[in-house]
Amino acid sequence: MSAEMIHPLASIEPRLRPLLPADVYASTWVDPSPTTLMGVFEHLRTLQQIMRDYVPRHLLESVPTPGKVRFKWQAGTLMFTDLAGYTPLMEASAAKGREGAATLLGLLNSYFAEMIEIVSKSGGNLLEFTGDAILVEFPPEPAQAVRAGLRMQRAMTRFENIETEMGTFNFGMRVGVHTGRYLTGDIGTPQRMESVLLGNAVQETKRAEGAGVVGRICLTKAVYKEVEKDFTFEEGAPGYMLVVDDLSDTQLGEYELAAPSGRRLSSAVLFDRSIEGLTSEIDSALGHLEPFAPFVPAPILKVLVESASQREIPPDFPEPTVVFVNLIGPPEAVDSAEGDEERSVVESFSRAFALINAAVDARGGVLKKVTYHLAGSDIMIFFGVPNSHTDDPVRAADAALAIREIINNLEPISVGSDEVRAECQIGMATGRAFAAEIGEPRGRREFNVIGDVVNTSARLMGRAINNRILMTEDVYERIKDDFEVKSLGPTRFKGKAKPVSIYSLVGYPGENGDQSDTEETRENDSR
């Protein structure tokens, strides 16, 4: 193409740039022939399908506008599941390298595919993956969710005594169910959006799972009151009831839906394959793709773009530094907010998310997800995946300090007669993890990082009261020359046989940071 000619994609090139693989972009720019333009269109169609698989169903049904904050209250039944028995399998798989990663991914995705199919056929909507856990939404009448939970637990027999060349392993699952009213919202900027759930009902669902038993379904009293005549129960932890599975297949009943709800795109037939026609189709494909792209963190989106032709991201065992941030204040205020106060709460949360994401992105990290906690909302961040740096722990510590400052400087919001101020708890850990696309290989899935390092970071966050930043000894050893850090001594964590030495990140050298760490940080772990 001569220098005098205008490239057919010139007007949409800025929109195309982040969504094309490097080789496709280059070849198309130097040779915008119908053949290369057809390759661009086919790539965008593939990427559009991947985006549809990466986002929850409500975004597909009500297409978002990047940068536009929106929210609504709704009533429903929420289910939280958590996988037990995963850690021993991950540790054994890591020792086998790529072969072990492939085996682990196959087993995990077999589990998720089974659970997702049951959820979908039972009328549920998978809202998000959080590590090896899932959050599912059902209609308000909770019997439907309980029946789905029974089907899911019955299906777990497939994952007992899993024979591998690394040994025999067992998966189990806890299920918690709660019904109530919660707020769903889309927050963020045109560059980075996030779909969130807010309200006490979300926390109650998490508490129900935590109070549950592997192999059983744990119900809050709100659910129990509505289904007590439909099932048999026994007492669980104080305040909870466990469902007894004494139903025959006939009594459990058929699935609510004949088959999982479809998410696949129909194939497009292109009749006009001229340069003008293909350019128009590329522009149209961009319009369908762009609303969903901001819901995937930019570094992960880049990996999806480059690997779209293979339709998979190879699994790996990296050693990331994981940061968990618990944002307290605005998320809880939504339950008592009324009228314009609701928008103030959501917009305050959106500002916090945008600023925190910017702080993480500027330091080469990934803000993976905003999820739920026993109080407030959790924000999962990692450094070292998918892009690694020699100083990832230092970058993570720098980001943690910036995040704490952002949260402490947020303007308070008024809810009723109360002034709500934001606070935070932050935990950091580094170590081996499993990074892969988790879920259905050709269906609902997300790129995720799971493993003990994630759990440890979350548990440290749970101890980090009063705006503290706590870390493991491994992180301390990597950052001690760059920051002021205070030793808090050994403490015990759930799931750890030996005490774990923890440290508090005070600030940068020479700063007059918070020196008020006390034995409060070493209270028994309830997570």
List all residues 6 or more positions away from 494 whose beta carbon is below 8 Å from its beta carbon: 459, 525, 527
Tokens of 430: 């580094």
Which residues of the chain, if any, have pLDDT below 70?
1-4, 258-269, 271, 373-374, 495, 512-527
Report the DSSP beta bridge partners of residue 232: 244
Q: What does the DSSP assignment read for 88-138? A: HHHHHHHTTHHHHHHHHHHHHHHHHHHHHHHHHHTT-EEEEEETTEEEEEE
SS3 287: helix
Count the neighbouring beta carbons within 10 Å of the beta carbon of residue 525.
15
Tokens of 403: 């995040």
Output the pLDDT for position 471. 98
* pTM summary value: 0.91
Task: Decide: helix, strand or coil at residue 374.
Answer: coil
State how far the Cα of 55 lies from the Cα of 57, in Å rounded to an integer. 7
Q: Give per-residue burial for 174-202: e unless 16+ CB within 10 Å, then b.
A: bbbbbbbebbbbbbbbeebbbbbbbbbbb
The residue with tokens 């019904």 is 179
What is the pLDDT, as a whole number, of residue 258?
55
The set of long-range contacts for 149-152, using a CB threshold of 8 Å and a minimum separation of 24, is: 149/79, 149/175, 149/177, 149/217, 149/243, 150/217, 150/243, 150/245, 150/247, 150/252, 151/118, 151/122, 151/252, 151/255, 152/81, 152/115, 152/118, 152/119
What is the Cα–Cα distance from 32 to 7, expressed in whole angstroms?
7
From 457, 329, 465, select the one nearest 382 (Cα to Cα): 457
Which residues are 167's β-sheet partners?
Answer: 164
Contact 201, 182 (CB under 8 A): yes
Q: How far apart are CA 482 and CA 360, in angstroms?
A: 18
Is the Cα dihedral 445, 330, 462, 357 positive or negative?
positive
**What is the residue-wise DSSP string for 391-402?**
THHHHHHHHHHH
The token pair that represents 517 in the structure block = 């760490």
CB 270 within 8 A of CB 261: no
* pLDDT, position 288: 94
Eight-state DSSP code of residue 316 = B
10: left (phi over 0), alpha (psi -120 to 50) or beta: alpha
Beta bridge partners of 169: 162
pLDDT at 224: 98
Who contacts 56 (Cβ-Cβ below 8 Å, separation ≥6)?
Answer: 125, 126, 127, 128, 195
Measured CA to CA in angstroms, residue 179 lies from 126, 146, 338 at distances of 16, 11, 21
Give CA–CA dist 490/506, Å, rounded: 18
DSSP state string for 146-173: HHHHHHHHHHGGGGSSEEETTEEE--EE
Is 425:461 a contact under the CB 8 Å cutoff?
Answer: yes
Residue type, 142: P
Dihedral sign, Cα of residue 16, residue 19, residue 22, residue 24: negative
Q: Tell me the H-state helices in 12-83.
A: 13-16, 22-30, 34-54, 57-61
In order of their start, the domains of the chain are: 10-56+267-295 (no CATH), 66-252 (3.30.70.1230), 321-522 (3.30.70.1230)
Question: 219: closest CA among 233, 229, 230?
Answer: 233
DSSP string covering 199-245: SHHHHHHHHHHHT--TTSEEEEHHHHHHHTTTSEEEE-STTEEEEE-
d(CA 480, CA 277): 59
Cα separation of 359 and 286, whole Å?
Answer: 28
